[in-house]
Every structure is written in structure tokens, then in C-alpha cells.
Structure 1
Amino acid sequence: MLNIDWYIEFKNQEGKRFQLALLGECEIISSVDNLADTATIVLPEAVMNEPLNFENKIGRGTEVTIRLGYDENLEDEFSGYIQDITNNDSSLKILCEDALFLFRVGVPDVELKPTSLSQIAQHVIDNIDSSFTVNCDYTVSYEKFTIHQATGYDVLKKIQEETKANIYFDTKNKVLHIHPPYIEKGGEVFYSMQKNIEESSLEFKNKLDTKVEVTIETTDINGNVKKVVSGTTGGDKITLKVRTMDEASMQKIADNEARRATAPGYEGSFDTWLIPFCAPTYSARIKDEDYPDKTAYYYVKSVTTTLSESGGVRTITPGIKLS
């Protein structure tokens, strides 16, 4: 029998480290649809009638490392910073965010033209924390991109909304990643409905009859409206307005959106244990002996990992079918 195990460490701005000695609950949320991974650490407000006092040890901006697993075999699950500490319902909650926390500060106003996703990201990095690097393989180009009274978070959020890129921070290695949606491949993991899936709300959608017509629209630097279309004429219409960019980049976005909307895959989620480790971008092979024709690899969209008195649970949301 495996015994649940965990390790949570704080490092404050003076460089002092503190290891958490008790834990009520921990939840980590990671998704390709979110810019940031988040973690919530829940502690009792008092132990043996003595209140917990962290005021002189940790606070906003304190670094956090969370490792979870069984029998001292731990995986790095989260690295980030404390956003806030709250008291309610007889408990103390420590709210954490990954390196996006550092980028919620202003960047200088600038008009970049022409420019690319990697150049925009590099501008954000250079003006907030140049110790980070950019890993970008999504070749989307803007004729003009204006930053005005915006934070680093605002800029990254805008390009995610417009391009549907998978944008996230590798906090531990100080890397800002920008990749095309549903293309980047993480590790591989294997699940069976009969062996290591505890509960499931999965419903397979083959989408054979799903038709979409995706339109990407922009206004160029001369004030002319440009449009590109992908998908099936007459299908359900999806329209996305973007800043001034070239038609090739607009076509990439349209094609990616049409592919995502019509690709077969699962809706819903399933619960499993902490092992095997799984994260968004992983390829999950899901097998159901009752429906062997549905056995395939699926793109993992999001993972919520929870540890409590009841044990460790990963709730995994798969997306499009890969193969």
C-alpha cells in the first residue's frame, strides 16, 4: 500500500527557507487555457488552540515549491509565489501563482511595427525580468502592435486571446513558452477505465456532423478591413477580431480554430491517482475495454491535482483526439 507524501517549502525575500510541517489541503490547477498555474494551500487557523502566525515569515511575493507523491517518491508539482494569505471558515488559505505573478507590473508604452509574438514577449521580458528567456515557435506576425498603459500580464493575455496560443511560464527554469494551440507535445501517460481511472464523466464526441466557418478579421495600418476564412462554408460561424497582422498569420489562427472546433475527442473529465504524473500538453492514451474502438491518444487540456486527508487525486480533462 502506498502512503501519501508531500513537501512544501517557502523562501522569503530575505532568502530564508521554511518547510511546512502540517497541511489541511492543497489544490493545484494547470490548464492550456490559463496563462498561469495556481495553487491553494489550506491550513488550520490554529493548532492545539494556538493560532498559526506566518506574518514574520512569509507573505506576498514569497517563493513556493510544492512536491507531491507517495513514499518519498515526489514529483515537482508547482513553483511560484504567494499572491495572498486569507483567513476564513476556521482555516488559513495561502493563494499562489506561478511566474506570471512577477509580470503583473507595467511595461513601457511602445508601438512595435512590424513585429512577432516572440518579439512582443521579449519586450515584456526585457522590461520586467531579463533573467527569463522566451521559447516561441508560433510564427504569427503583426504589422503593428501597440502597448499602452499595460502590464506584462495584459500584453500576454491579449496575444493569447487573439492567437489562441498556448502561453505559460516554466517558473523553475525561468522560461516563457508560446506555442501553437494543441501542437506542443509533453510526455505520454496511460489510463484504463478498468484499472487506474476512479471516476469518469467522459463522453466521446466524434463531431462528424460538426461544421464551422471561422473568420479572422483585422484592420490594416491603412484602415482597410481584411478577412480570412477557414472551415466549411455555411457552418456555425466563429468570428475573431485581431490587431493588425499579415494574412498568413491570420490564416494560421483560422485553421487552428477550425481544427480545434471539429476534431473528435472527449468532453468531461476523469479522476485518477497522483501516479502516473500528468500535465497539460501530455498525450494520454485512454482505454476502455467496453469500447475498444475509442482507444486512442488524447491531448490533455487541464489537470487539477488535490491532496487532502482523503488522499491524492488528479482530475484530468482531455481534449482532441491525437491518434
Structure 2
Amino acid sequence: MFDINWSVKFKNAGVTYRLETIAAIDIDESVDNLVDTATITLPEAVMNQVLNIGDRIGRGTEVAVQLGYDEVLITEFVGYVKDIVTNDSSLKILCEDALFLFRVGVKDIEMKPTTMAKIAQSLLSQINPGYKLVCDYDIAYEKFVIHQATGFDVLKKLAEETKANIYFNTDKKELHIHPPYLEKSGEVIYSMQVNVEKSSLEYKEAIDRKVEVIVESTNVKGKVESYTAGTTGGEKITLKVGSVSPQDLPKIANAELIRRSADMYEGSIDGWLIPFVKPTYSAKIKDEDYPEKDGTYYVVGVVTSVSEAGCKRTVKLGVKLSVK
């Protein structure tokens, strides 16, 4: 039997504070979302004394969460306090990763021609030059307009139009931009008979999921350019993007096609804090009952929860990467 341990530290004005009590910690991470979040729930009162954290913790305070067993702790979340919410019985500290810093306005500009990397670098230069851009999926734009927008708005538009995986590594101060399902940051092994508590997975084969993806872009002269990928007669998906360069439309179409039609698992598995896993990991799945489904799958999202009731990781799987 393992003892569950945790550490939550806040840093404000150069002073570090450590929580002495919690009711629950919930961390939600996904490559499908621009932002990773952590919700730290505190009892409203301890020993009939109302907790007062407002003088030490506020919006923008740095936060680091570590979890583990038997005093062996691993950093699970690094970010900033976005809000503190009080209800009838508890306090909730709502936190975001480095995207929190990018919820500020940026200057209006028309960039032409440009690329996704140049647009992202412009945001970093304006908002926080201490962050480094890590990008291996560069889409060219004939024109990109930023008007009355925040850094968050711009990153959201880039993610929606290009289907890129865009996320922050707050600890390393990095903004990542990658093609979907290609960035692999680690490996993990799950056995349905050993370290999986519960499974809601449903296996989907590509042969049963016919999809046709059409990407349409309007160039600077007003002409509509398009590119089609997939199977004619399948479910038709039309994506309308900005003034993306015609030679990059296939990248976007094929990225969406992978999301929609590859061999994959839909659903999730529930496990524990061990093994450690993050989105972008490759998860090797073994199932003695259904060996034909064995393979390596892309980890799309992870929800980690710790409370008095115990701990749980819910791991959402995606496309099949290999059969081994």
C-alpha cells in the first residue's frame, strides 16, 4: 500500500508559500486544448478557522504542483493562478499554464507574406521574450491580419486553421507548434490486466471510417484555392482557412484526415499516478484478451485527480502509431 503525497507551492513577489492542506487537485491536459489547467480545491475552513489566502495568493501568482507516492514527488503542473472562487463549502484556486500570460492584447498588424513561426515569434517578442519557440510545422500565409486580438486569440486561430498541436512547456519556457500526433515526448506501457483500473475504449478501424477533407483558402486576390484529401463519397469535412499558401493546403488536409480516419482508440483508460504519462506520450497497450488490438497509441489527453478518496489518471488515447 502506497501513501499518496503532494506538494503545492505558490510564488508571489519573490516569496514562496506552501499549502498545508487540500481537499482535491485536478489537472487537465490535452493536445486538443491550447491551455492546460489545474484546479486546487481547499476546505473553506480548517478546525473551524476560515482559510484566508487572499493576502498571499492572487491572480498571476506562480504555482507548482507535485504528486507522488511515498515521498517520491514528480512535477505535474507549472503555471499561474487565474482566479480564486469561493462557494458554500470550499475554495477553488483555478490555474492555467503559460497561456495565462498570453491573454493580453497585442498590436494590430498585417503580415504578408508570413509564416506560422513568424506569427508565433512576434507574439513571444511582444508578450514574453523569455519564451523560446519550438516549431517543426510551419505553414505559410500570403497574409495574416491581427486586429484587436490577444495572444490567446491569435494562437487559437492558428490552431483551428492549421490543425497544429500548439501548447506550452511552462517549466522550460517553450511554446511548441507541431504537426498532430508527431511530437513524442515519452513512452508508457499499459496492460489491461495489470495497471489499468477501468477502460472505456472502443477500437475504430480506418477501413470503417471513410472521410473526405476539403480545405479552402481565399488568397490575397480573392480567388478561392482548394485541396481535397481522403476518400470520395466518405463523410465530407470542409475547412475554411485564411490566406494560406496553396502549397501548404495539403499539410492541413492530411493533418485533419489523420485526426478523423486513422486506426485509433476512442475513449479512455483509468490508472494511477504510476506510470507517469503526459499528452504526446506514446502508450503501448497490451491486452491478453484481445491481442489483435495490441499496439502503440498516441496519448491525446490526461486528467489527473487526487483527493481523500485516492488518486486517478484518466488517459485519453488517439491514433494508432504502430502494431508493436
TM-score (norm 2): 0.98
2:48 maps to 49
CA distance in 2, matches of 1:139, 1:8: 37
What SS does the corresponding residue of 1:144 show, helix, strand or coil?
strand
The code of the aligned residue for 1:311 comes to G
CA distance in 2, matches of 1:265, 1:209: 11
User: Within the alignment, does 1:115 sit opposite 2:130 as a pair?
Assistant: no
The code of the aligned residue for 1:217 comes to E
The code of the aligned residue for 2:289 comes to D
1:4 maps to 4
Equivalence map 1:155-234=2 (5 Å)? 155-234=154-233
Q: Could you report, residue by residue, the CA deviation over 1:238-279 in whole angstroms, capped at 9, with x for unpaired residues?
A: 000001011121110101111221111111111001011000
Give structure 1 regions of 4+ aligned residues with deviation exceeding 3 angstroms.
Answer: none
User: Within the alignment, does 1:77 sit opposite 2:80 as a pair?
Assistant: no
Q: Could you report, residue by residue, the CA deviation over 1:118-177 in whole angstroms, capped at 9, with x for unpaired residues?
A: 100001011111111111100210010000000000000000000111000111111100
CA distance in 1, matches of 2:108, 2:75: 37
What SS does the corresponding residue of 2:313 show, helix, strand or coil?
strand
1:152 maps to 151
1:101 maps to 100
CA distance in 2, matches of 1:86, 1:27: 15
CA distance in 2, matches of 1:203, 1:226: 37
CA distance in 1, matches of 2:258, 2:101: 34
What SS does the corresponding residue of 1:208 show, helix, strand or coil?
helix
The count of corresponding residues between Structure 1 and Structure 2 is 322
What SS does the corresponding residue of 2:206 show, helix, strand or coil?
coil
1:62 maps to 61
What SS does the corresponding residue of 1:150 show, helix, strand or coil?
coil
CA distance in 1, matches of 2:159, 2:88: 36
2:261 maps to 262
2:28 maps to 29
CA distance in 2, matches of 1:166, 1:53: 39
The code of the aligned residue for 2:277 comes to C
Give 5+ residue unaligned stretches, structure 2: none
1:16 maps to 15
CA distance in 1, matches of 2:88, 2:272: 28
What SS does the corresponding residue of 1:289 show, helix, strand or coil?
coil
Q: Percent identity?
A: 59
TM-score (norm 1): 0.98
Deviation (angstroms), 1:313: 0.7
User: Within the alignment, does 1:88 sit opposite 2:95 as a pair?
Assistant: no
CA distance in 1, matches of 2:87, 2:264: 40
CA distance in 1, matches of 2:132, 2:247: 26
The code of the aligned residue for 1:103 comes to F
Q: Could you report, residue by residue, the CA deviation over 1:9-63 in whole angstroms, capped at 9, with x for unpaired residues?
A: 0001x11110111110000000001001100000000011110001111111100
CA distance in 2, matches of 1:165, 1:89: 41
CA distance in 1, matches of 2:304, 2:145: 38
Q: Could you report, residue by residue, the CA deviation over 1:178-208 in whole angstroms, capped at 9, with x for unpaired residues?
A: 0001111110100011100001111111131
The code of the aligned residue for 1:187 comes to G
The code of the aligned residue for 2:136 comes to D
The code of the aligned residue for 1:46 comes to A
2:271 maps to 272
User: Within the alignment, does 1:322 sit opposite 2:321 as a pair?
Assistant: yes
The code of the aligned residue for 1:241 comes to K
CA distance in 2, matches of 1:230, 1:247: 14
CA distance in 2, matches of 1:228, 1:26: 45
The code of the aligned residue for 1:162 comes to E
CA distance in 2, matches of 1:255, 1:165: 11
RMSD of aligned C-alpha atoms? 0.8
CA distance in 2, matches of 1:285, 1:317: 13
What SS does the corresponding residue of 2:65 show, helix, strand or coil?
strand
1:142 maps to 141
The code of the aligned residue for 2:47 comes to M
1:133 maps to 132
CA distance in 2, matches of 1:180, 1:50: 51
The code of the aligned residue for 1:179 comes to H
